Chains A and B, each alone.
Chain A
Amino acid sequence: MIKIINLHKSFGPQKVLRGVNLEIPKGKITFIMGRSGTGKSVLLKHIIGLMEPDEGQIIVDGQDITKMSAKELLKIRKRFGMLFQEGALFDSMTVGENVAFPLYEHTKLSEKEIWQRVREKLAQVDLLGAIDKMPSELSGGMKKRAALARALALEPEIVLFDEPTTGLDPVMQLNIGFLIKKTQQQHKLTCVVISHDIIVARATADRIAFLHEGVIIAQGSPEEIARFPHPFVQEFWQTLELGSKEVGHEERPFEPGT
């Protein structure tokens, strides 16, 4: 279980996180939602120790990672996988080598087993055909999927996804959502997913937390969130229905995406 206690983070005068309190249950999928620029990615980077908080604690299975040395952090990170918002693929390596990278670093698998696993993971995200391509030759959505395959390659206990479905077509969005769900259930993973995608959240989340103005304003199961009284949550949750109602409306045409 991951417990975030009173987390504060500012960049200069800009207060991004202002006392985040959140419990992420083991073996479940927790979605973190919120407007663009509220600090979701910043929060995620704190969970894996890439950023140091100004104040507060992050407890992973009883250990406070904010107090750890670089060496201890490296050790605990072996249990984590992370999908970065922009993919962060190594651009000097092919897609296949990117997915193989954590396997070479942290397993004793043979060359053959590694590449078998790489092909399996790439097939899951429908990218087997791009195994020998360089990241610069991929579209945005393909990069995201390749990065997803890399994050899942080691089948780590805890996986952090920063907007895994953003930039994909709607069919692929649901596929990726279900892939995350399936992998999570198969290996009993603890998943934290940042997403704006209400459809995917509704279909796959065990818990949803809303980050707004630097704090978590709501958390609970998707059903609880749907009934949550906070106006921001309601507004966010209902964009979907509002949007679909307005399709064809002449004065305010609905634009999907963004």
Chain B
Amino acid sequence: MENPVELLGGFSLRLLREMGGMAVMFVQAMLYTFKPPFRFRLLLKQMEFIGVKSTLVVLLTGLFSGMVLALQGYYGFRKFGGESLLGATVALSLVRELGPVLTGLMVTARAGSAIAAELGTMRVTEQIDALWAMAVNPVHYLVMPRIWAGILMLPLLTILADVIGILGGYFVGVILLKINAGIFVAKMRALVELSDILNGLYKSFVFGALLTLIGCYKGYHARGGAEGVGRATTEAVVISSISILVGDYILTSLLFS
């Protein structure tokens, strides 16, 4: 029989151990960056997988987020005649929050899960052991290129989401709801600062590193056949999503204060 205190203690210990393990894996991967052979081809392949192939989902997410923001904002602002602020609100919400966070979540669902499943399968079919046996460090070969691909591609995807989201907001605000185009754009340009955009992109760097690291870590440590791979994949998605949301709060309080 386990009492609640023991359960909580066990859970905390596991959490700490996992966080420690992830930190070690991250540092190793970063250090191996400068160690030949440089895995340039693998990096390009991962950038294609994590970045290019996520474009469509990210565009759709960004577009409809921008559109719904405009719609909701319009009904809110109309109550006190503040429609002129619509463009700025949509743009600020996107570049500061929704762009990076939604991109992070969508890429987690698409690529983070796939990374965990792939590495997990490699683990349970001894392909990771085979790498070690052939004197190739799997963190260098598998983890390092994936984390870098995440770090490099997430900001680009976030920019795409921001841009298409603002276009979506423009479409709804100006074309459907007939707000004056000049005012929509002018307020947006006046109120959105470069630092807003940059801070949003800093976040996306961090999310890119987080979701690839967690996917790699969970896959790398998978055990117990197909079921274990499934568990690793689920955990990777859940933990990455939570980390992105918690990380977003922490980063917001650090960056915008």
Which A residue sits closest to B141, measured CB to CB?
A105
In the complex, 30 of the A-B residue pairs with CB atoms within 8 angstroms, ordered by the A residue number, are A45-B129, A48-B133, A50-B132, A50-B133, A70-B137, A74-B137, A75-B135, A77-B132, A77-B134, A77-B135, A80-B135, A82-B133, A82-B134, A84-B126, A84-B130, A86-B125, A88-B126, A88-B129, A88-B130, A89-B130, A90-B122, A90-B127, A91-B125, A91-B127, A92-B118, A101-B134, A105-B37, A105-B135, A106-B134, A106-B135
> In chain A, what residue has the closest Cβ to B139?
A70
Interface bracket on A: 20 to 34
B136 contacts the other chain (CB 8 A) = yes
Residue from A49, A75, A77 whose CB has the most chain B CB atoms within 10 Å: A77
In the bound complex, CA of A77 to CA of B121 (Å): 23
The reply on A102 being an interface residue by CB < 8 A is yes
Candidates A75, A77, A90; contact of B133 at CB < 8 Å: A77
Residues of A within 8 A of B135 (CB): 74-75, 77-78, 80, 105-106
- CB closest residue in chain A, given B131: A90
Task: Tell me which of B121, B126, B136, B137 has the highest count of chain A C-beta atoms within 10 A of its own C-beta.
Answer: B126
- Report, as a range, how many residues of chain B touch the other chain: 10 to 19
How long is the Cα–Cα vector from A49 to B135 in the complex, in angstroms?
Answer: 11
A98-119 to B contact mask, C-beta < 8 Å, 1/0: 0001100110000000000000
Known: A84-B126, A91-B125. A105 touches B133 (CB 8 A): no
Binary contact track A7-40/B, C-beta < 8 Å → 1, others 0: 0000000000000000000000000000000000
Contact B133 A80 (CB under 8 A): yes
Question: Do residues B125 and A105 form an inter-chain contact, with CB atoms below 8 A?
Answer: no
Q: Which of A53-75 contact B (CB under 8 A)?
A: 70, 73-75
B132 and A88 contact, CB distance less than 8 A? no
* Assembly CA distance A97 to B7 (angstroms): 48
- C-alpha spacing A73/B125, complex, angstroms: 22
B129 to A: closest C-beta gap in Å: 5
Q: Find out whether the CB atom of A88 lies under 8 angstroms from the CB atom of B137.
A: no
Shortest CB–CB separation between residue A106 and chain B, in angstroms?
Answer: 7
A90 CA to B118 CA in the complex, in Å?
11
Are A90 and B129 in contact (CB-based, < 8 A)?
no
Q: Counting chain A CB atoms within 10 Å of each CB, which of B121, B126, B135 scores highest?
A: B135
